[in-house]
Amino acid sequence: MGPYRLQRFPSAAPGIALLARLGAIVLALLISALVLALTGAKPGALALQVVTASFGSQFGLEDLGLLVTPLIFTGLSVALALKIGAWNIGAEGQFYAGAFAASAVGLFLPVAEPLSLFLMLLAGLVGGALWILIPTLARAYAEVNELITTLLMNFVAVLGVYYVSTGPWRAKGANSTTARIPAEIPEFFGSLHWGLPAAVLLALLLALALARSRFGYEVRLAGSNPQAALYAGLPARRRLIAVMLAAGALAGLGGMVEVAGTVHRLQGGLSNSYGYLGIMVAVLARGSLVGVVFSAALMAFILNAGIILQTQGLTTSTVLAVTGLILFLTAIGDELAHYRLVRDARA
Task: Select from 4, 9, 55, 59 the one that contacts other proteins (CB under 8 A).
Answer: 59
The C-alpha atoms of residue 221 and residue 122 are separated, in whole angstroms, by 30
Among 143, 313, 341, 345, indicate the residue that binds other proteins (CB under 8 A). Answer: 313
- Choice between 131 and 169, CB closer to other proteins: 169
Residue 175, interface with other proteins (CB under 8 A)? Answer: yes
40 touches other proteins by CB under 8 A: no
Count of residues near other proteins by CB under 8 A: 43
CA distances from 211 to 11, 198, 221 (A): 18, 20, 12
CB of 2 to other proteins, least distance (A): 52
Stretch that binds other proteins, among 15-23, 211-219, 221-229, 313-321 (CB under 8 A): 313-321
Angstrom distances, CA of residue 183 to CA of 95, 164, 180, 192, 256: 19, 20, 9, 16, 11
Note whether 45 binds other proteins by CB under 8 A: no
* Cβ neighbours of residue 109 closer than 8 Å, sequence gap 6 or more: 116, 119
Considering the rule CB under 8 A, would residue 162 count as an interface residue with other proteins? yes
Site for other proteins, residues 94 to 153, rule: CB under 8 A: none
Task: Please report which residue ranges of 56-145 form alpha helices under DSSP H.
Answer: 58-83, 91-108, 113-142
Q: What is the CA radius of gyration of the chain?
A: 22
Work out how close the CB of 80 gets to other proteins at its nearest, in angstroms, rounded to a whole number. Answer: 24
Say whether residue 186 binds other proteins (CB under 8 A).
no
The answer to whether the CB of 117 falls within 8 A of the CB of 183 is yes
Cα dihedral value 9, 10, 13, 18, nearest 10: 110
If one asks whether residue 258 binds other proteins (CB under 8 A), the answer comes out as yes
Residue 245 near residue 80, CB atoms below 8 Å: no
- Assess 176 for contact with other proteins (CB under 8 A): yes
Buried b (16+ CB within 10 A) or exposed e, 318-346: bbeebbebbbebbeebbebbbeeeeeeee
Pick the piece of the chain touching other proteins (CB under 8 A) from 87-95, 97-105, 199-207, 310-318. Answer: 310-318
Candidate segments 59-67, 105-113, 121-129, 241-249, binder of other proteins by CB under 8 A? 59-67
CB nearer to other proteins: give 213 or 310.
310
Q: Residues interacting with other proteins, by CB under 8 A?
A: 53, 57, 59-60, 62-63, 66-67, 159, 162-163, 166-168, 170, 172-177, 180, 190-191, 258, 262-265, 267-272, 304, 307-308, 310-311, 313, 315-316
